[in-house]
Structure 1
Amino acid sequence: MSGAMSWPFLRLYLLVLLYFSANSILNVIIPLQGESLGASNTTIGLIMGAYLFTTMFFRPWAGNIIQKHGPIKILRIILIINGIALILYTFTGLGGYLIARMLQGVSTAFFSMALQIGIIDALPEKDRSQGISLYSLFSYIPGIIGPLLALGIWQEGMDYFTVMMIAIALFTGVFGYSAKMEKDKDQLAVKSNEQGVSTFKSFSQLVKNPLLFKCSVLMLVSSTVFGAITTFIPLYAMQLKTGNAGIYLMLQAGTVVYARFALRKKIPSDGKWHSSFIMGTMFILALAAQSVSFSIMGGAFFFYVGAILMGIAQALLYPTLTTYLTFVLPQMNRNVLLGLFIAMADLGVSLGGVIMGPLADIFSYSFIYMICAILSVAMIFFAYDRRKIVVG
């Protein structure tokens, strides 16, 4: 195998799988544990949202720091931070969960930027979308069994949770410490003076650059929908007559994995803006959110159809927009601007918990998912662009 499927890249994907395996369990355990401790939806949303809100804050600086010190040295440091965070979950309450989520957010900002920028720089243009899709694919594989495992842990007792978190921290650390990047493919160590534009100045490009702006808004709104699903599905499923949160999250993650692998060559990788493709993806997202919302009356069929549609939308949107930006952003500060774009995805997932939590307290889970469907419909029109934008 060669290109995005060669062994050096497969090794990186396996590290991604190990690293993100804890979150597939925590995404179920934290809401359930929070409710059992008497926390409101607002509090649960804040704790869940703290993870990617912190990631968003640190991500724009991650690229520059990695360029100065090298990806391997940074990787080893953040694996230690991640291990501390996972162990913190095992003996603390809600306050400790908040600190642990923030520590995870810091480590994820550097971890994901190092690997994604490395993959983008090491692969030829024709393989970029495949590499990004496979990275995302392996980050979702734990979600296939993680939710069901989490529900089993919850039913059997939190002692099993302690063992699982410690095991994941150790295995990820050992595997990550042995990871290597070949010098001829290590494009992360580009001299900082070649980047030309400071991180602070680059923030204005979110508005000034129309291509980055369009992609960022689409990603922000879509990620808000994804975040609302991740945060409150474990609690919403308990209100349904039929329907299981573990099965929902397993179906959603399984669909993401299958679609990203099966459709990885269909994702545009030509530097053009494909309006119909993006609009169709947003339409699928709207149907997914509305199906989940309607399941309170329609039952498990709509609940699980929503999971499959949500998985398809997740599988297509992020690699499509990221690949497009790798072509159209200026090479001089591409990594920093990509960091800002990915930060918008982080912010959206965080807002899905932080904003939708109070709304769920006031109204209902079904209501917030209907709001998500309306936001997705608005993005169908926003995605339309008559211009055929082609890179240089």
Structure 2
Amino acid sequence: MRTGVENALKPFNLDNPFNKRALWLYIVALLFYGTNHMLIIALPFLSQSLGASQSRIGIIMGAYMFVSMFLRPVAGAIVDRFGSRNIFMAALLLNAIVLAAYSIENLWAFAVMRALQGAILAFFSMTVHMLIIDLISDKARGQGLSLLSLASMVPYTFVPALVLYLKDQVTMTQLLLIFAGIGLCNIAFGSGLFRTLGARAGQTSGEQNRDEDRHTVGSSNVSTPKIVFPSLVMLMASIVFSIAPTFLPLYLDSRGMNTAPLYFLTETAVLIFIRFFGRKRIPSSATFPRKLLIALIACFVLSPTLLFLSLSTPVLLASAVCNGLALSLLYPTLITYITFIVPERSRGYSIGWFIAAADFGTSLGAFLMGWLADAFSYPTMLATGAGIGVAALIVTFVYRGEKAVVA
């Protein structure tokens, strides 16, 4: 039910995923994830200049995703209980404070700030997912979630080069203050959206709230079996997706090849193009999108399989296209499906578990594939990735789908 937000947005076309309020949300997400991607590049350099070892840098950087992964279901349940509006604004305020706190330039402070940012990420990602569901109609939900995920991915295309350029033009302290300034700008954008939202944005209806204490535990239990399939597929996909960014440059370098930039440029171009122009292909209903999922999973099976067979430039490009296609639509397709099959009162909790599964798959993939490459070989690693993809394909074939839930 859309009690608060729907009334506030009546003058706006909720069928349009580019309505003014949705655009504001995309911009806020772009700036939020942009500053976080900037820190991923800049913070290791600053930590090293302060005398941190490689292992200590790893601990500092890893605290972010580790904390976020474990807090996502908790954050989802809290958003279900209290709504997205106030938590959204609190996350932006805390993020700006944490960004400013990096200027302390102390390694222990860095570790604490990264952990705090992981907690902020868990709540922010939950609120923006819940808000975009409210800011657009059900039939455009798939498009909105696809555009939101695109906003979080776009910084990957330009942030590394931007930060590497800036670090040679300004001091690290100045660079960190620039990040804090971006955080303050994001508060301005977020507050503009905040003022237009109903007080109960992202929260269930009054009747549901009166029964909430009685139903919260039960609804979580009801929704848990429904998210097993999409979470399992996303976990397996994330393991396979982790291969290229983590190990492909090393594999190509070991073979005396310098074609990794060409691979990632092609993959990124496909991802952005398809996620934007292919968003209308994402089913926005409780109907299980079997054919689309099979096609997408087949793509991420083909990607490591092609690299296993050959590293020639045409094959490398074909692998990049396949991986880009799978990356572009798999996540928004699965998360859209989840929003229709779980009870509204536990939607945030369910999305939290789904995103946590994706995070865990990425972390597990880096560990598992690295071990396989060390213990056996890169081709063995690629063959294993293809095998995991085949397992995801089999799971999708046998899955029968879930019925839509109204309450």
Could you say which TM-score interval applies, normalised by the shorter chain? 0.7 to 0.9
Deviation, structure 1 residue 243? 3.5
What residue number does 2:189 align with?
Answer: 175
Which of residues 272, 285, 301 is equivalent to 1:286?
Answer: 301
Q: Tell me, yes or no, if structure 1 residue 13 matches structure 2 residue 31.
A: no
Distance 1:75 1:342, change over 3 A: same
- For residues 1-392 of structure 1, what are the structure 2 equivalents within 5 Å? 2=13, 3-28=16-41, 39=54, 49-67=62-80, 69-87=82-100, 98-152=111-165, 159=172, 161-162=175-176, 164-180=178-194, 182-183=196-197, 187-190=201-204, 192-195=209-212, 196-198=214-216, 202=220, 205-206=223-224, 209=225, 211-231=226-246, 239=254, 241-243=256-258, 248-291=263-306, 298=311, 301-359=314-372, 362=375, 368-385=381-398, 387=400, 391=404
Letter in 2 for 1:326: T
Distance 1:232 1:30 in 2: 22
- Partners of 1:359 and 1:95 in 2: how far apart? 33
* Letter aligned with residue 334 of structure 1: R
CA displacement 1:93-134 (0-9 Å, x = unmatched): 876554443222211111111111122134322111111111
Q: 1:231/1:174 Cα in 2 relative to 1: closer, same or farther (>3 Å)? A: farther
The answer (yes or no) to whether the contact 1:45–1:356 under 8 Å persists in 2 is no
* CA contact 1:63–1:339 (8 Å) conserved in 2: yes
- 8 Å Cα contact 2:302/2:386 also seen in 1: yes
Name stretches of at least 5 consecutive residues in structure 1 with no aligned partner.
none
CA–CA distance in structure 2, aligned partners of residues 244 and 95 of structure 1: 38
TM-score with structure 2 setting the length: 0.78
Shift of residue 299, structure 1, vs aligned partner: 5.2
Kindly indicate whether the alpha-carbon contact (under 8 Å) linking 1:49 and 1:353 is maintained by their aligned counterparts in 2. Answer: no
Contact 2:219-2:346 at 8 Å conserved across structures: no
> Please, what is the CA RMSD of the aligned residues?
3.8
Instruction: Indicate conservation of the 8 Å contact 1:151/1:246, yes or no.
Output: no
- Percent of pairs with identical residues: 31
Structure 1 residues 104 and 305 mapped into 2: Cα distance closer, same or farther (>3 Å)? farther
SS in 2 for 1:5: coil
Call closer, same or farther: CA 1:386–1:233 in 2, change over 3 Å. Answer: closer
- Equivalent residue for 2:6? none
C-alpha distance in 1 between matches for 2:379 and 2:101 = 33
SS of corresponding position for 2:339: helix
How much has 1:212 moved relative to structure 2? 1.7
1:252 Cα deviation after fit = 3.2
CA change 1:165–1:183 in 2 (3 A) is closer
Q: Is the 8 A contact 1:224 1:352 kept in 2?
A: yes
**Counterpart of 1:39 in structure 2: which amino acid?**
Q
Moved more, 337-346 or 279-288: 337-346
Number of corresponding residues? 385
Compared with structure 1, are the counterparts of its residues 108 and 155 closer, same or farther at alpha carbon in structure 2 (3 Å cutoff)? same
CA distance in 2: counterparts of 1:75 and 1:171, whole angstroms: 15
Bigger CA radius of gyration: 2
Farther off after superposition, 52-61 or 175-184:
175-184
Q: Take 1:127 and 1:373, find their aligned partners in 2: how far apart are those partners?
A: 33
Q: Which moved more, 1:21-30 or 1:278-287?
A: 21-30
Give the whole-Å Cα distance in 1 for the aligned partners of 2:39 and 2:290: 36
User: For residues 183 and 30 of structure 1, do their structure 2 counterparts lie closer, same or farther at Cα, with a shift above 3 Å needed?
Assistant: closer
Residues 219 and 344, structure 1, Cα contact 8 Å, conserved in 2: yes
| Cα 1:388/1:179, change in 2 over 3 Å | closer
Q: 1:355-386: CA deviations, max 9, x gaps?
A: 44555555566654443332112211111137
Report how far residue 198 of structure 1 moved: 3.6
For residues 349 and 324 of structure 1, what CA distance do their matches in structure 2 show? Answer: 21
Gap change, CA 1:387 and 1:353, over 3 Å in 2: closer
Cα distance in 2 for partners of 1:126, 1:363 equals 48
Deviation at 1:6, TM superposition (A): 0.6
Paired residue type of 2:293: I
The residue identity in structure 1 corresponding to 2:333 is: T
SS in 1 for 2:17: helix
Deviates more, 1:317-326 or 1:121-130: 121-130
- Rounded Cα–Cα distance in structure 2 between residues aligned with 1:93 and 1:307: 40
Contact 1:67–1:189, Cα closer than 8 Å, also in 2: yes
Structure 2 residue runs without a partner (length 5+): 1-11
Give the whole-Å Cα distance in 2 for the aligned partners of 1:172 and 1:98.
23
Q: Is the 8 A contact 1:81 1:107 kept in 2?
A: yes
Cα 1:21/1:307, change in 2 over 3 Å: farther
The alpha-carbon distance between structure 1 residues 287 and 38, as it changes in their structure 2 partners (threshold 3 A), is: farther
Flag the 1:302–1:128 CA change in 2: closer, same or farther, 3 A: same
Judge conservation of contact 1:122–1:187 (CA < 8 Å) in 2: no
Q: Give the aligned residue type for 2:220.
A: S
